[in-house]
Amino acid sequence: MKREDVKKLDQLDELHQYKEEFYTHPGIYYMDGNSLGLLSKRAEQTLLTSLNDWKQHGIEGWTDGQQPWYYMSEQIGEQTAPLIGAKAHEVINTGSITTNIHQLLATFYKPKGSRTKILADALNFPSDIYALKSQLELHNLNPADHLIQITSEDGYTIQEEDIIEAMNNDIALLLLPSVLYRSGQLLDIERITKAAHQHNIIVGFDLAHSIGALPHHLHEWDVDFAVWCTYKYLNSGPGGVGGLFVHENHLGRKPGLAGWFSSSKEKQFDMEHELTPADSAGAFQIGTPHILSSAPLLGSLEIFHEAGIEKIRNKSLQLTQLLMDLIKEHLTSYDFRMANPIENHRRGGHVSLVHPEAASICKALKHEGVIPDFRDPNVIRLAPIALYVSFEDVYDVVLKLKDIMENKKQQQYSNQRGTIA
């Protein structure tokens, strides 16, 4: 493939104008948006608006600001709902992935009789597993016996058949990632949910690596709950407030971990000591919303509403397909192999390259102006984000990687990860 070919793809790109919405830098190829998305000008503006509301209104900013804080979590939930195929009242902007997992496990995990086990996978992000183990221990259950983790044959992907085969009447709850963080494998959420419900298993998904990258239909698929972060594909900023989904079938129940903002908004300031939970997903909030870490989403989600998640997904698939094609064309002789599935319906938003010198290659890429992501011990993740990465950017990244390997530039660097990877 030649440069003229990828330039033609950029000319046909329906989303090309959105790159100007983001703070990109000349000569820098940002391929790590699946760890931290870039700042958009709209996200910056809505953050500044909330700062100005604080400046101008003080405490009255909760109700009288340009972006009233008291209703911000619900507003962001409503903006998020179309991205995951949910109803507005099923979604709330709150907490972080891990705190939301704790909240929803405290609400939905009710071990009884022989139905005491939690089904997860052996490739999930550590934080999810920490939460699952600690919740089991709170019930005086040994994780070694009660946490069932589906193993992987290749160390990078999991077969849905293995997940379904592990389902039985001992399983109380299932928590899986929608997209595996290391390999980018997209699981069949609908199929897994349907099979689990046939065994009366509560179903939850962690959407960290899929929300904002591809469409979902959580309500239609009958998923019981889901959690996510917003600082990856949704571009909310470092430590941006996360979100959760609870299917309307479960709304109205008392949250497992009740708190100040679990309350019905009409009753909250009655200051009663008996909680009246909100009849929406807002019931699963705990503390006061983190306004300055939420406000950027008001602007960021406007972009998703305009661009459309289907168009974002289509371009994402084109970008990752181009990346894989160029890797096959230019890098097959340098001991790289792809860990991600190649089929569109099984691939998330990033490409995972496995190489024994992955850590040193990532350091060399950064020196050449490419920002990748390294995952111990040998994975290079490259995420060409549809809203701010062009097809020509992908072309340039592969040529830079080829130049590194041809000239052995990675050998200048230690093949050990830094403190943060």
C-alpha radius of gyration, the chain, whole number? 22
Q: Flag whether 393 is marked binding.
A: no
Q: Flag whether 63 is marked binding.
A: no
Q: Flag whether 222 is marked binding.
A: no
- Distance of alpha carbon 205 from alpha carbon 176, whole angstroms: 5
Q: Flag whether 32 is marked binding.
A: no
- Distance of alpha carbon 42 from alpha carbon 102, whole angstroms: 32
Q: Residue 254 has what DSSP assignment?
A: P
Write out the two tokens for 156. Answer: 């990078």
Q: Flag whether 53 is marked binding.
A: no
Rounded to 5 degrees, φ, ψ at 118 are -115, 135
Q: Flag whether 24 is marked binding.
A: no
216-226 core/surface letters (b: 16 or more CB in 10 A; e: else): bebbebebbbb
Q: Flag whether 145 is marked binding.
A: no
Q: Flag whether 377 is marked binding.
A: no
Q: Flag whether 270 is marked binding.
A: no
Pick from 292, 110, 339: nearest CA to 118: 110
Q: Measured on CA atoms in the order 142, 148, 149, 152, is the torsion positive or negative? A: positive
Q: Flag whether 224 is marked binding.
A: no
* First-to-final CA distance of the chain: 32
Q: Flag whether 125 is marked binding.
A: yes
Query: In Å, how far are 10, 29, 315, 391 from 386, measured between CA atoms?
Result: 11, 13, 6, 9
Write out the two tokens for 129. Answer: 């597993």
Residue in this structure with the two tokens 């994402």, named with its chain if needed = 316
SS (H, E, C) 330-387: HCHHHCCEECCCCCHHHECCCEEEECCCHHHHHHHHHHCCEECEEECCCEEEEECCCC
Enumerate the known binding-site residues for pyridoxal 5'-phosphate.
97-98, 125-128, 206, 209, 231, 260, 288
Enumerate the known binding-site residues.
97-98, 125-128, 206, 209, 231, 260, 288
